[in-house]
Amino acid sequence: MVEVKHVTKRYGGVIVVDDVSLSITKGAITSFIGPNGAGKSTLLSMISRLISKDAGEVLIEGKEIGSCKSNELARKISVLKQSNHISVRLTVKELVSFGRFPYSQGKLTPEDRAFVDEAIAYMDLQEMQDKYIDQLSGGQRQRAYIAMVMAQDTEYILLDEPLNNLDMKHSVQIMKVLRRLVEEKGKTIVLVIHDINFASCYSDYIVALKNGRVASSGTVDEIIDTAVLRDVYDMDIPIETIGGRKIGVYF
Amino acid sequence: MKTKLTILSLSAVALIVLFMTYHVMGNWDYVLPSRGRKLAAILITGAVIAVSTVVFQSITNNRILTPSILGLDSLYMLIQTFGVYALGSSNMTFMNKNVNFLFSACIMVLFSGVLYKLMFRREGQNIYFLLLVGLIMGTMFQSASSFMEVLIDPNEFLILQGKMFASFNNVSSDLLILSTVVLALTTLYFMRFVKYLDVISLGKDEAINLGINYDYVVKRLLVIVSIYVSISTALVGPITFLGLLVANVGHQLFRTYKHAYLIPGTILLSIIALVGGQFLVERVFGFTTTVSVIINFAGGVYFVYLLLKENKSW
Amino acid sequence: MKLKYLSLLLIVFSFISLFIGVKDISPLDLFSLTESQIQTLLVSRIPRLAALIIAGVSMSIAGLIMQQLSRNKFVSPTTAGTMDSAKFGILVSLMLFTGATPMQKLLVAFVFALLGTFIFMRILDRIKFKDSIFIPLVGLMFGNIVGSITTFFAYKNDLVQNISSWMLGDFSTIIKGQYELIYISIPLVILAYVFANKFTVAGMGEDFSVNLGMNYKAVVNVGLVIVALISSVVILTVGTIPFLGLVVPNIVTLYIGDNLKKNLAHTAILGAVFLLFCDILGRLIIYPYEISISLTVGVIGSGLFIYLLMRRKAN
């Protein structure tokens, strides 16, 4: 389990994340939603140790992340940021192979190769595995990065706006894969996501943030609710149930 | 990839043989040791500059930067200028070369240490910020040097001018041994971090995600880089754009992120450039110019070309 | 700070500047000047003061224009290769015409400075990663490279020390009959004032300015010509004054914000005050000798620059 306790982050004098506590359930998808500037990405980055926190602690299986060895942590938790700007020229397969670095330190064993091949197959990337990353379309590239995180074979996977700049088809494709990862492989996934309907249809739990604080959190049914969302977004969002799914009509 | 490395090695060896044996005219006893010393100095500085630039570019994720912009070259010139200004050139020449070498190298390492300390004190500092501060300090050192340069007597200035440009002609054997020892120790330490270089070149977030203690590793790599640069500068003088030239040619030639190929390839390129350059200076230009001036010129022109070419790598 | 106080400061510093020097002239002598005192004033002190004020004003304005055009607070003639290109030009003029006249030097230096700045602006266009810190880094690198090309030719022609003297900003050599070139800057500064608003619009980008019906290229070119000409004139008469065009406009922005029309006057006067201050300091520290202006401005300016950078990071 990942537990976040009283975590705070300031930039200059501005408090971006303000005394946030929450816990993330294993084997489920948890989505962070909230308006721009709510502190979603900052919180995710702190949980994944990409940035340091000014106060509070983040515990992974009871151990504070700051006290874990960096390499061991990389076998437990992986993170993918929204701006994947890699300046190096890599093929898909080479990128995915980097996911095995925490285990092999660069020298791939047959076992590592098996993981890499499996991740490529899982993300349906076999045909383009020798293509360079910069030759891929947005959706393909995002899948390649997720394949790398898969090869890393961590229990926890943190994704910062994985649907950014993707069209509907590719967004749905990515979300379905994430769902499969949870159901077939028992992974725990945390997402930052903008569209409440994607959050509603594919996640198990939702944490709504506002002004650096947790506005409310709970199951999808609890959060996708006109009254709760009014608090978060300051607008009225009627909720319709279509095909058993709760859809917010915010237009 | 391997073939390219082999070709490069063969060309390097061929050039070295040519350099050592050209026009000896039976004076083997005199020529061999003197050229041997030159060659040793070239091999050491060439290798060191190549490695430090490749590592530096991987850390900064940027192909148009070189460790020379940390301000070390200008600092070296300031030390030398101050020496000539305050002690006079005759004292400077009499002053033990080893002392000068050690003193300059220590000051440079110290300076970069202080710079890193100040810059990394606050968390999350942008590395470009560090470089810019280094470069500004460099400009300041330059102002100070040029102030003294103008005050120096023109005859003494000639001595100083000799130091402004890297030269392999007057490197003593003691210095060679001394710097080899220091460099060997540094390289031994560097070996511990080599395996991280591929991952670090992916960028900070990716490297942390893949379990690298990023700040720790990068700080150590930067210290190693500045030791390398300080030693090579103190040994032969500044060759600002050699690293930039060979690291970029290396990337173009090998088109890979794998440092296992990049580093040896760039070292070979650097040796070829220096031995070839030295050969040209001696045989074609008849010593009217220096290798570093030629290489800085070529490197500079190549760099402007790189900047103007549409490029994704920076 | 009110413009009034700034102007007062300028007058005070100018006054001090007139009365410092080896030749003793005190303000009390003003009404009973001896022949030689009048000579000193006319030949050396007043020209020096004029050169200081004009250089301070014009370099700061040049910096401000570049910052407007590039939309980057840290671009200036020092951090965009303009200075180094001008220096290269001087070298070329020395190689082309033995005993080049000041006018010939100026012309060649101007062409090179313009070309260098133009190349830098082209590079800016190509760079996708427009980090505000990265841009000056590239500019300074570019300057170093032009510098190394200069060195290549200087070394071959035994002009290294000669070039070094151009590197050095020095007002102590300013005497009547040898500095008048600097007056060329005055009409340029006036021109900058006329074009001020257009530069701001041009800084918003080509699409933006074309949308507003402005001839983008022409305005940018006018700006670059002004900057290149000012830099060449100053480098020829005084030498390099590092960071002046960078620090002064930034300080003005700190206390009155980003309105170009309003900033111009402040930038101009503060530039003169800052340069006068550094000059007076340089003349007093090791009196009766002098520390060159590029050293005092270099040290104070780079300190201020780093402070400005730190401040920016803190926000």
C291 three-state secondary structure: coil
Sequence-ordered list of residues with C-beta below 8 angstroms from that of C56, at least 6 positions apart, any chain: C244, C248, C271, C272, C273, C274, C275, C276
Q: Between B259-279 and B242-254, two packed helices, what is the crossing angle to 10 degrees?
A: 130
Lowest mean pLDDT among A181-190, B128-137, C293-302: B128-137
CA distance linking residue A97 with residue A76, whole number of Å: 17
Q: Token digits for C315? A: 């926000």
pLDDT digits (tens, 9 = 90+) for A135-164: 888 888 888 998 999 999 999 999 999 888
A248 three-state secondary structure: strand
| B147 with C291: Cβ contact below 8 A | yes
CA distance linking residue A243 with residue A78, whole number of Å: 34
| B308 with C131: Cβ contact below 8 A | no
| CB-CB contact of A152 with B210 (8 Å) | yes
Residue from A71, A98, A159 whose CB has the most chain B CBs within 10 Å, to mutate? A98
Q: Token digits for B303? A: 């760099």
Q: Is the pLDDT of residue B91 over 70?
A: no
What pLDDT score was predicted for residue C270?
92
For residue A152, which residues of chain B lie inside 8 Å, CB to CB?
209-210
The pLDDT confidence band at residue B56, using thresholds 50, 70 and 90, is very high
| A106 with B198: Cβ contact below 8 A | yes
Q: Is the dihedral of CA B126, B249, B267, B137 positive or negative?
A: negative
Residue from B130, B146, B167, B281 whose CB has the most chain C CBs within 10 Å, to mutate? B146
What pLDDT score was predicted for residue C272?
93
Superfamily of domain A2-83+155-248: P-loop containing nucleotide triphosphate hydrolases (3.40.50.300)
Interface of B with A in 139-198 (CB under 8 A): 195, 198
| CB-CB contact of C279 with C293 (8 Å) | yes
pLDDT digits (tens, 9 = 90+) for A65-98: 888 888 889 999 999 987 666 677 889 999 999 9
The pLDDT confidence band at residue B90, using thresholds 50, 70 and 90, is low
The pLDDT confidence band at residue B89, using thresholds 50, 70 and 90, is low
Q: Token digits for B215? A: 């700040």
| A51 with B124: Cβ contact below 8 A | yes
| B210 with A102: Cβ contact below 8 A | yes
List the one residue out of B198, B214, B35, A14 whose CA is nearest residue C314. Answer: A14
The answer, for B149 touching chain C at a CB cutoff of 8 Å, is yes
The beta-carbon neighbor of A89 closest among B208, B211, B257 is B257
CA distance C235 to chain B (A): 14
Give the mean pLDDT of A180-206: 93
* Neighboring chains of C (3 or more beta-carbon pairs < 8 A): B
Q: Between B97-120 and B173-194, two packed helices, what is the crossing angle to 10 degrees?
A: 30
What pLDDT score was predicted for residue B314?
45
pLDDT digits (tens, 9 = 90+) for A21-63: 999 999 999 999 999 989 999 999 999 988 888 899 999 988 8
Predicted-complex ipTM score:
0.85
Computed over every residue of chain B, the mean pLDDT equals 84
Give the mean pLDDT of B96-102: 80
CA dihedral C27, C33, C37, C43 (to 10 degrees): 90
Q: Is the pLDDT of residue B265 over 90?
A: yes
Q: How many CB pairs under 8 A join B and C?
A: 133
Structural domains of chain B sorted by starting position, each given as residue range(s) with its CATH number in brackets: 1-311 (1.10.3470.10)
The beta-carbon neighbor of A98 closest among B61, B204, B210 is B210
Sequence-ordered list of residues with C-beta below 8 angstroms from that of C237, at least 6 positions apart, any chain: C51, C55, C174, C178, C179, C181, C182
| CB-CB contact of B266 with B247 (8 Å) | yes
The answer, for B172 touching chain C at a CB cutoff of 8 Å, is no
Sequence-ordered list of residues with C-beta below 8 angstroms from that of B166, at least 6 positions apart, any chain: B45, B236, B237, B238, B239, B290, B291, B292
The answer, for B288 touching chain C at a CB cutoff of 8 Å, is yes
CA distance B10 to chain A (A): 28
CA distance B242 to chain C (A): 12
Structural domains of chain C sorted by starting position, each given as residue range(s) with its CATH number in brackets: 42-314 (1.10.3470.10)
The pLDDT confidence band at residue B261, using thresholds 50, 70 and 90, is very high
CA distance B78 to chain C (A): 13
The beta-carbon neighbor of C242 closest among B139, B297, B310 is B139
* Neighboring chains of B (3 or more beta-carbon pairs < 8 A): A, C
Instruction: Name the residue type at position B148.
Output: M
What pLDDT score was predicted for residue A85?
65
List the one residue out of C114, C142, C74 whose CA is nearest residue C221. Answer: C114
Lowest mean pLDDT among B92-96, B270-274, C192-196: B92-96
CA distance linking residue A169 with residue A147, whole number of Å: 18
Q: What is the mean pLDDT of each run of 10 residues along chain C (315 residues)?
A: 82 85 70 76 85 92 88 84 89 80 84 90 75 79 84 79 71 77 89 86 81 85 91 87 87 77 86 92 80 86 83 61
Q: Write out the DSSP string of chain B.
A: -HHHHHHHHHHHHHHHHHHHHTT-TT-HHHHHHHHHHHHHHHHHHHHHHHHHHHHHHHHHT-TT--GGGGTHHHHHHHHHHHHHHHH-HHHHHHS-HHHHHHHHHHHHHHHHHHHHHHHHSSTT--HHHHHHHHHHHHHHHHHHHHHHHHHS-HHHHHHHHHHHS--STT--HHHHHHHHHHHHHHHHHHHHHHTTHHHHTT-HHHHHHTT--HHHHHHHHHHHHHHHHHHHHHHH---TTHHHHHHHHHHHHH----HHHHHHHHHHHHHHHHHHHHHIIIIISTTSS-HHHHHHHHHHHHHHHHHHS--S--
Whole-number CA gyration radius for chain C = 20
* Neighboring chains of A (3 or more beta-carbon pairs < 8 A): B
Residue spans of the domains in chain A: they are 2-83+155-248
Q: Is the pLDDT of residue B241 over 90?
A: no
List the one residue out of C172, C192, C199 whose CA is nearest residue C268. Answer: C192
The answer, for B283 touching chain A at a CB cutoff of 8 Å, is no
Residue B287's closest chain C neighbor by CA?
C156
Buried b or exposed e, range A182-195, using 16+ CB within 10 angstroms: beeeebbbbbbbee
CA distance A78 to chain B (A): 6
Q: Is the pLDDT of residue B70 over 90?
A: no
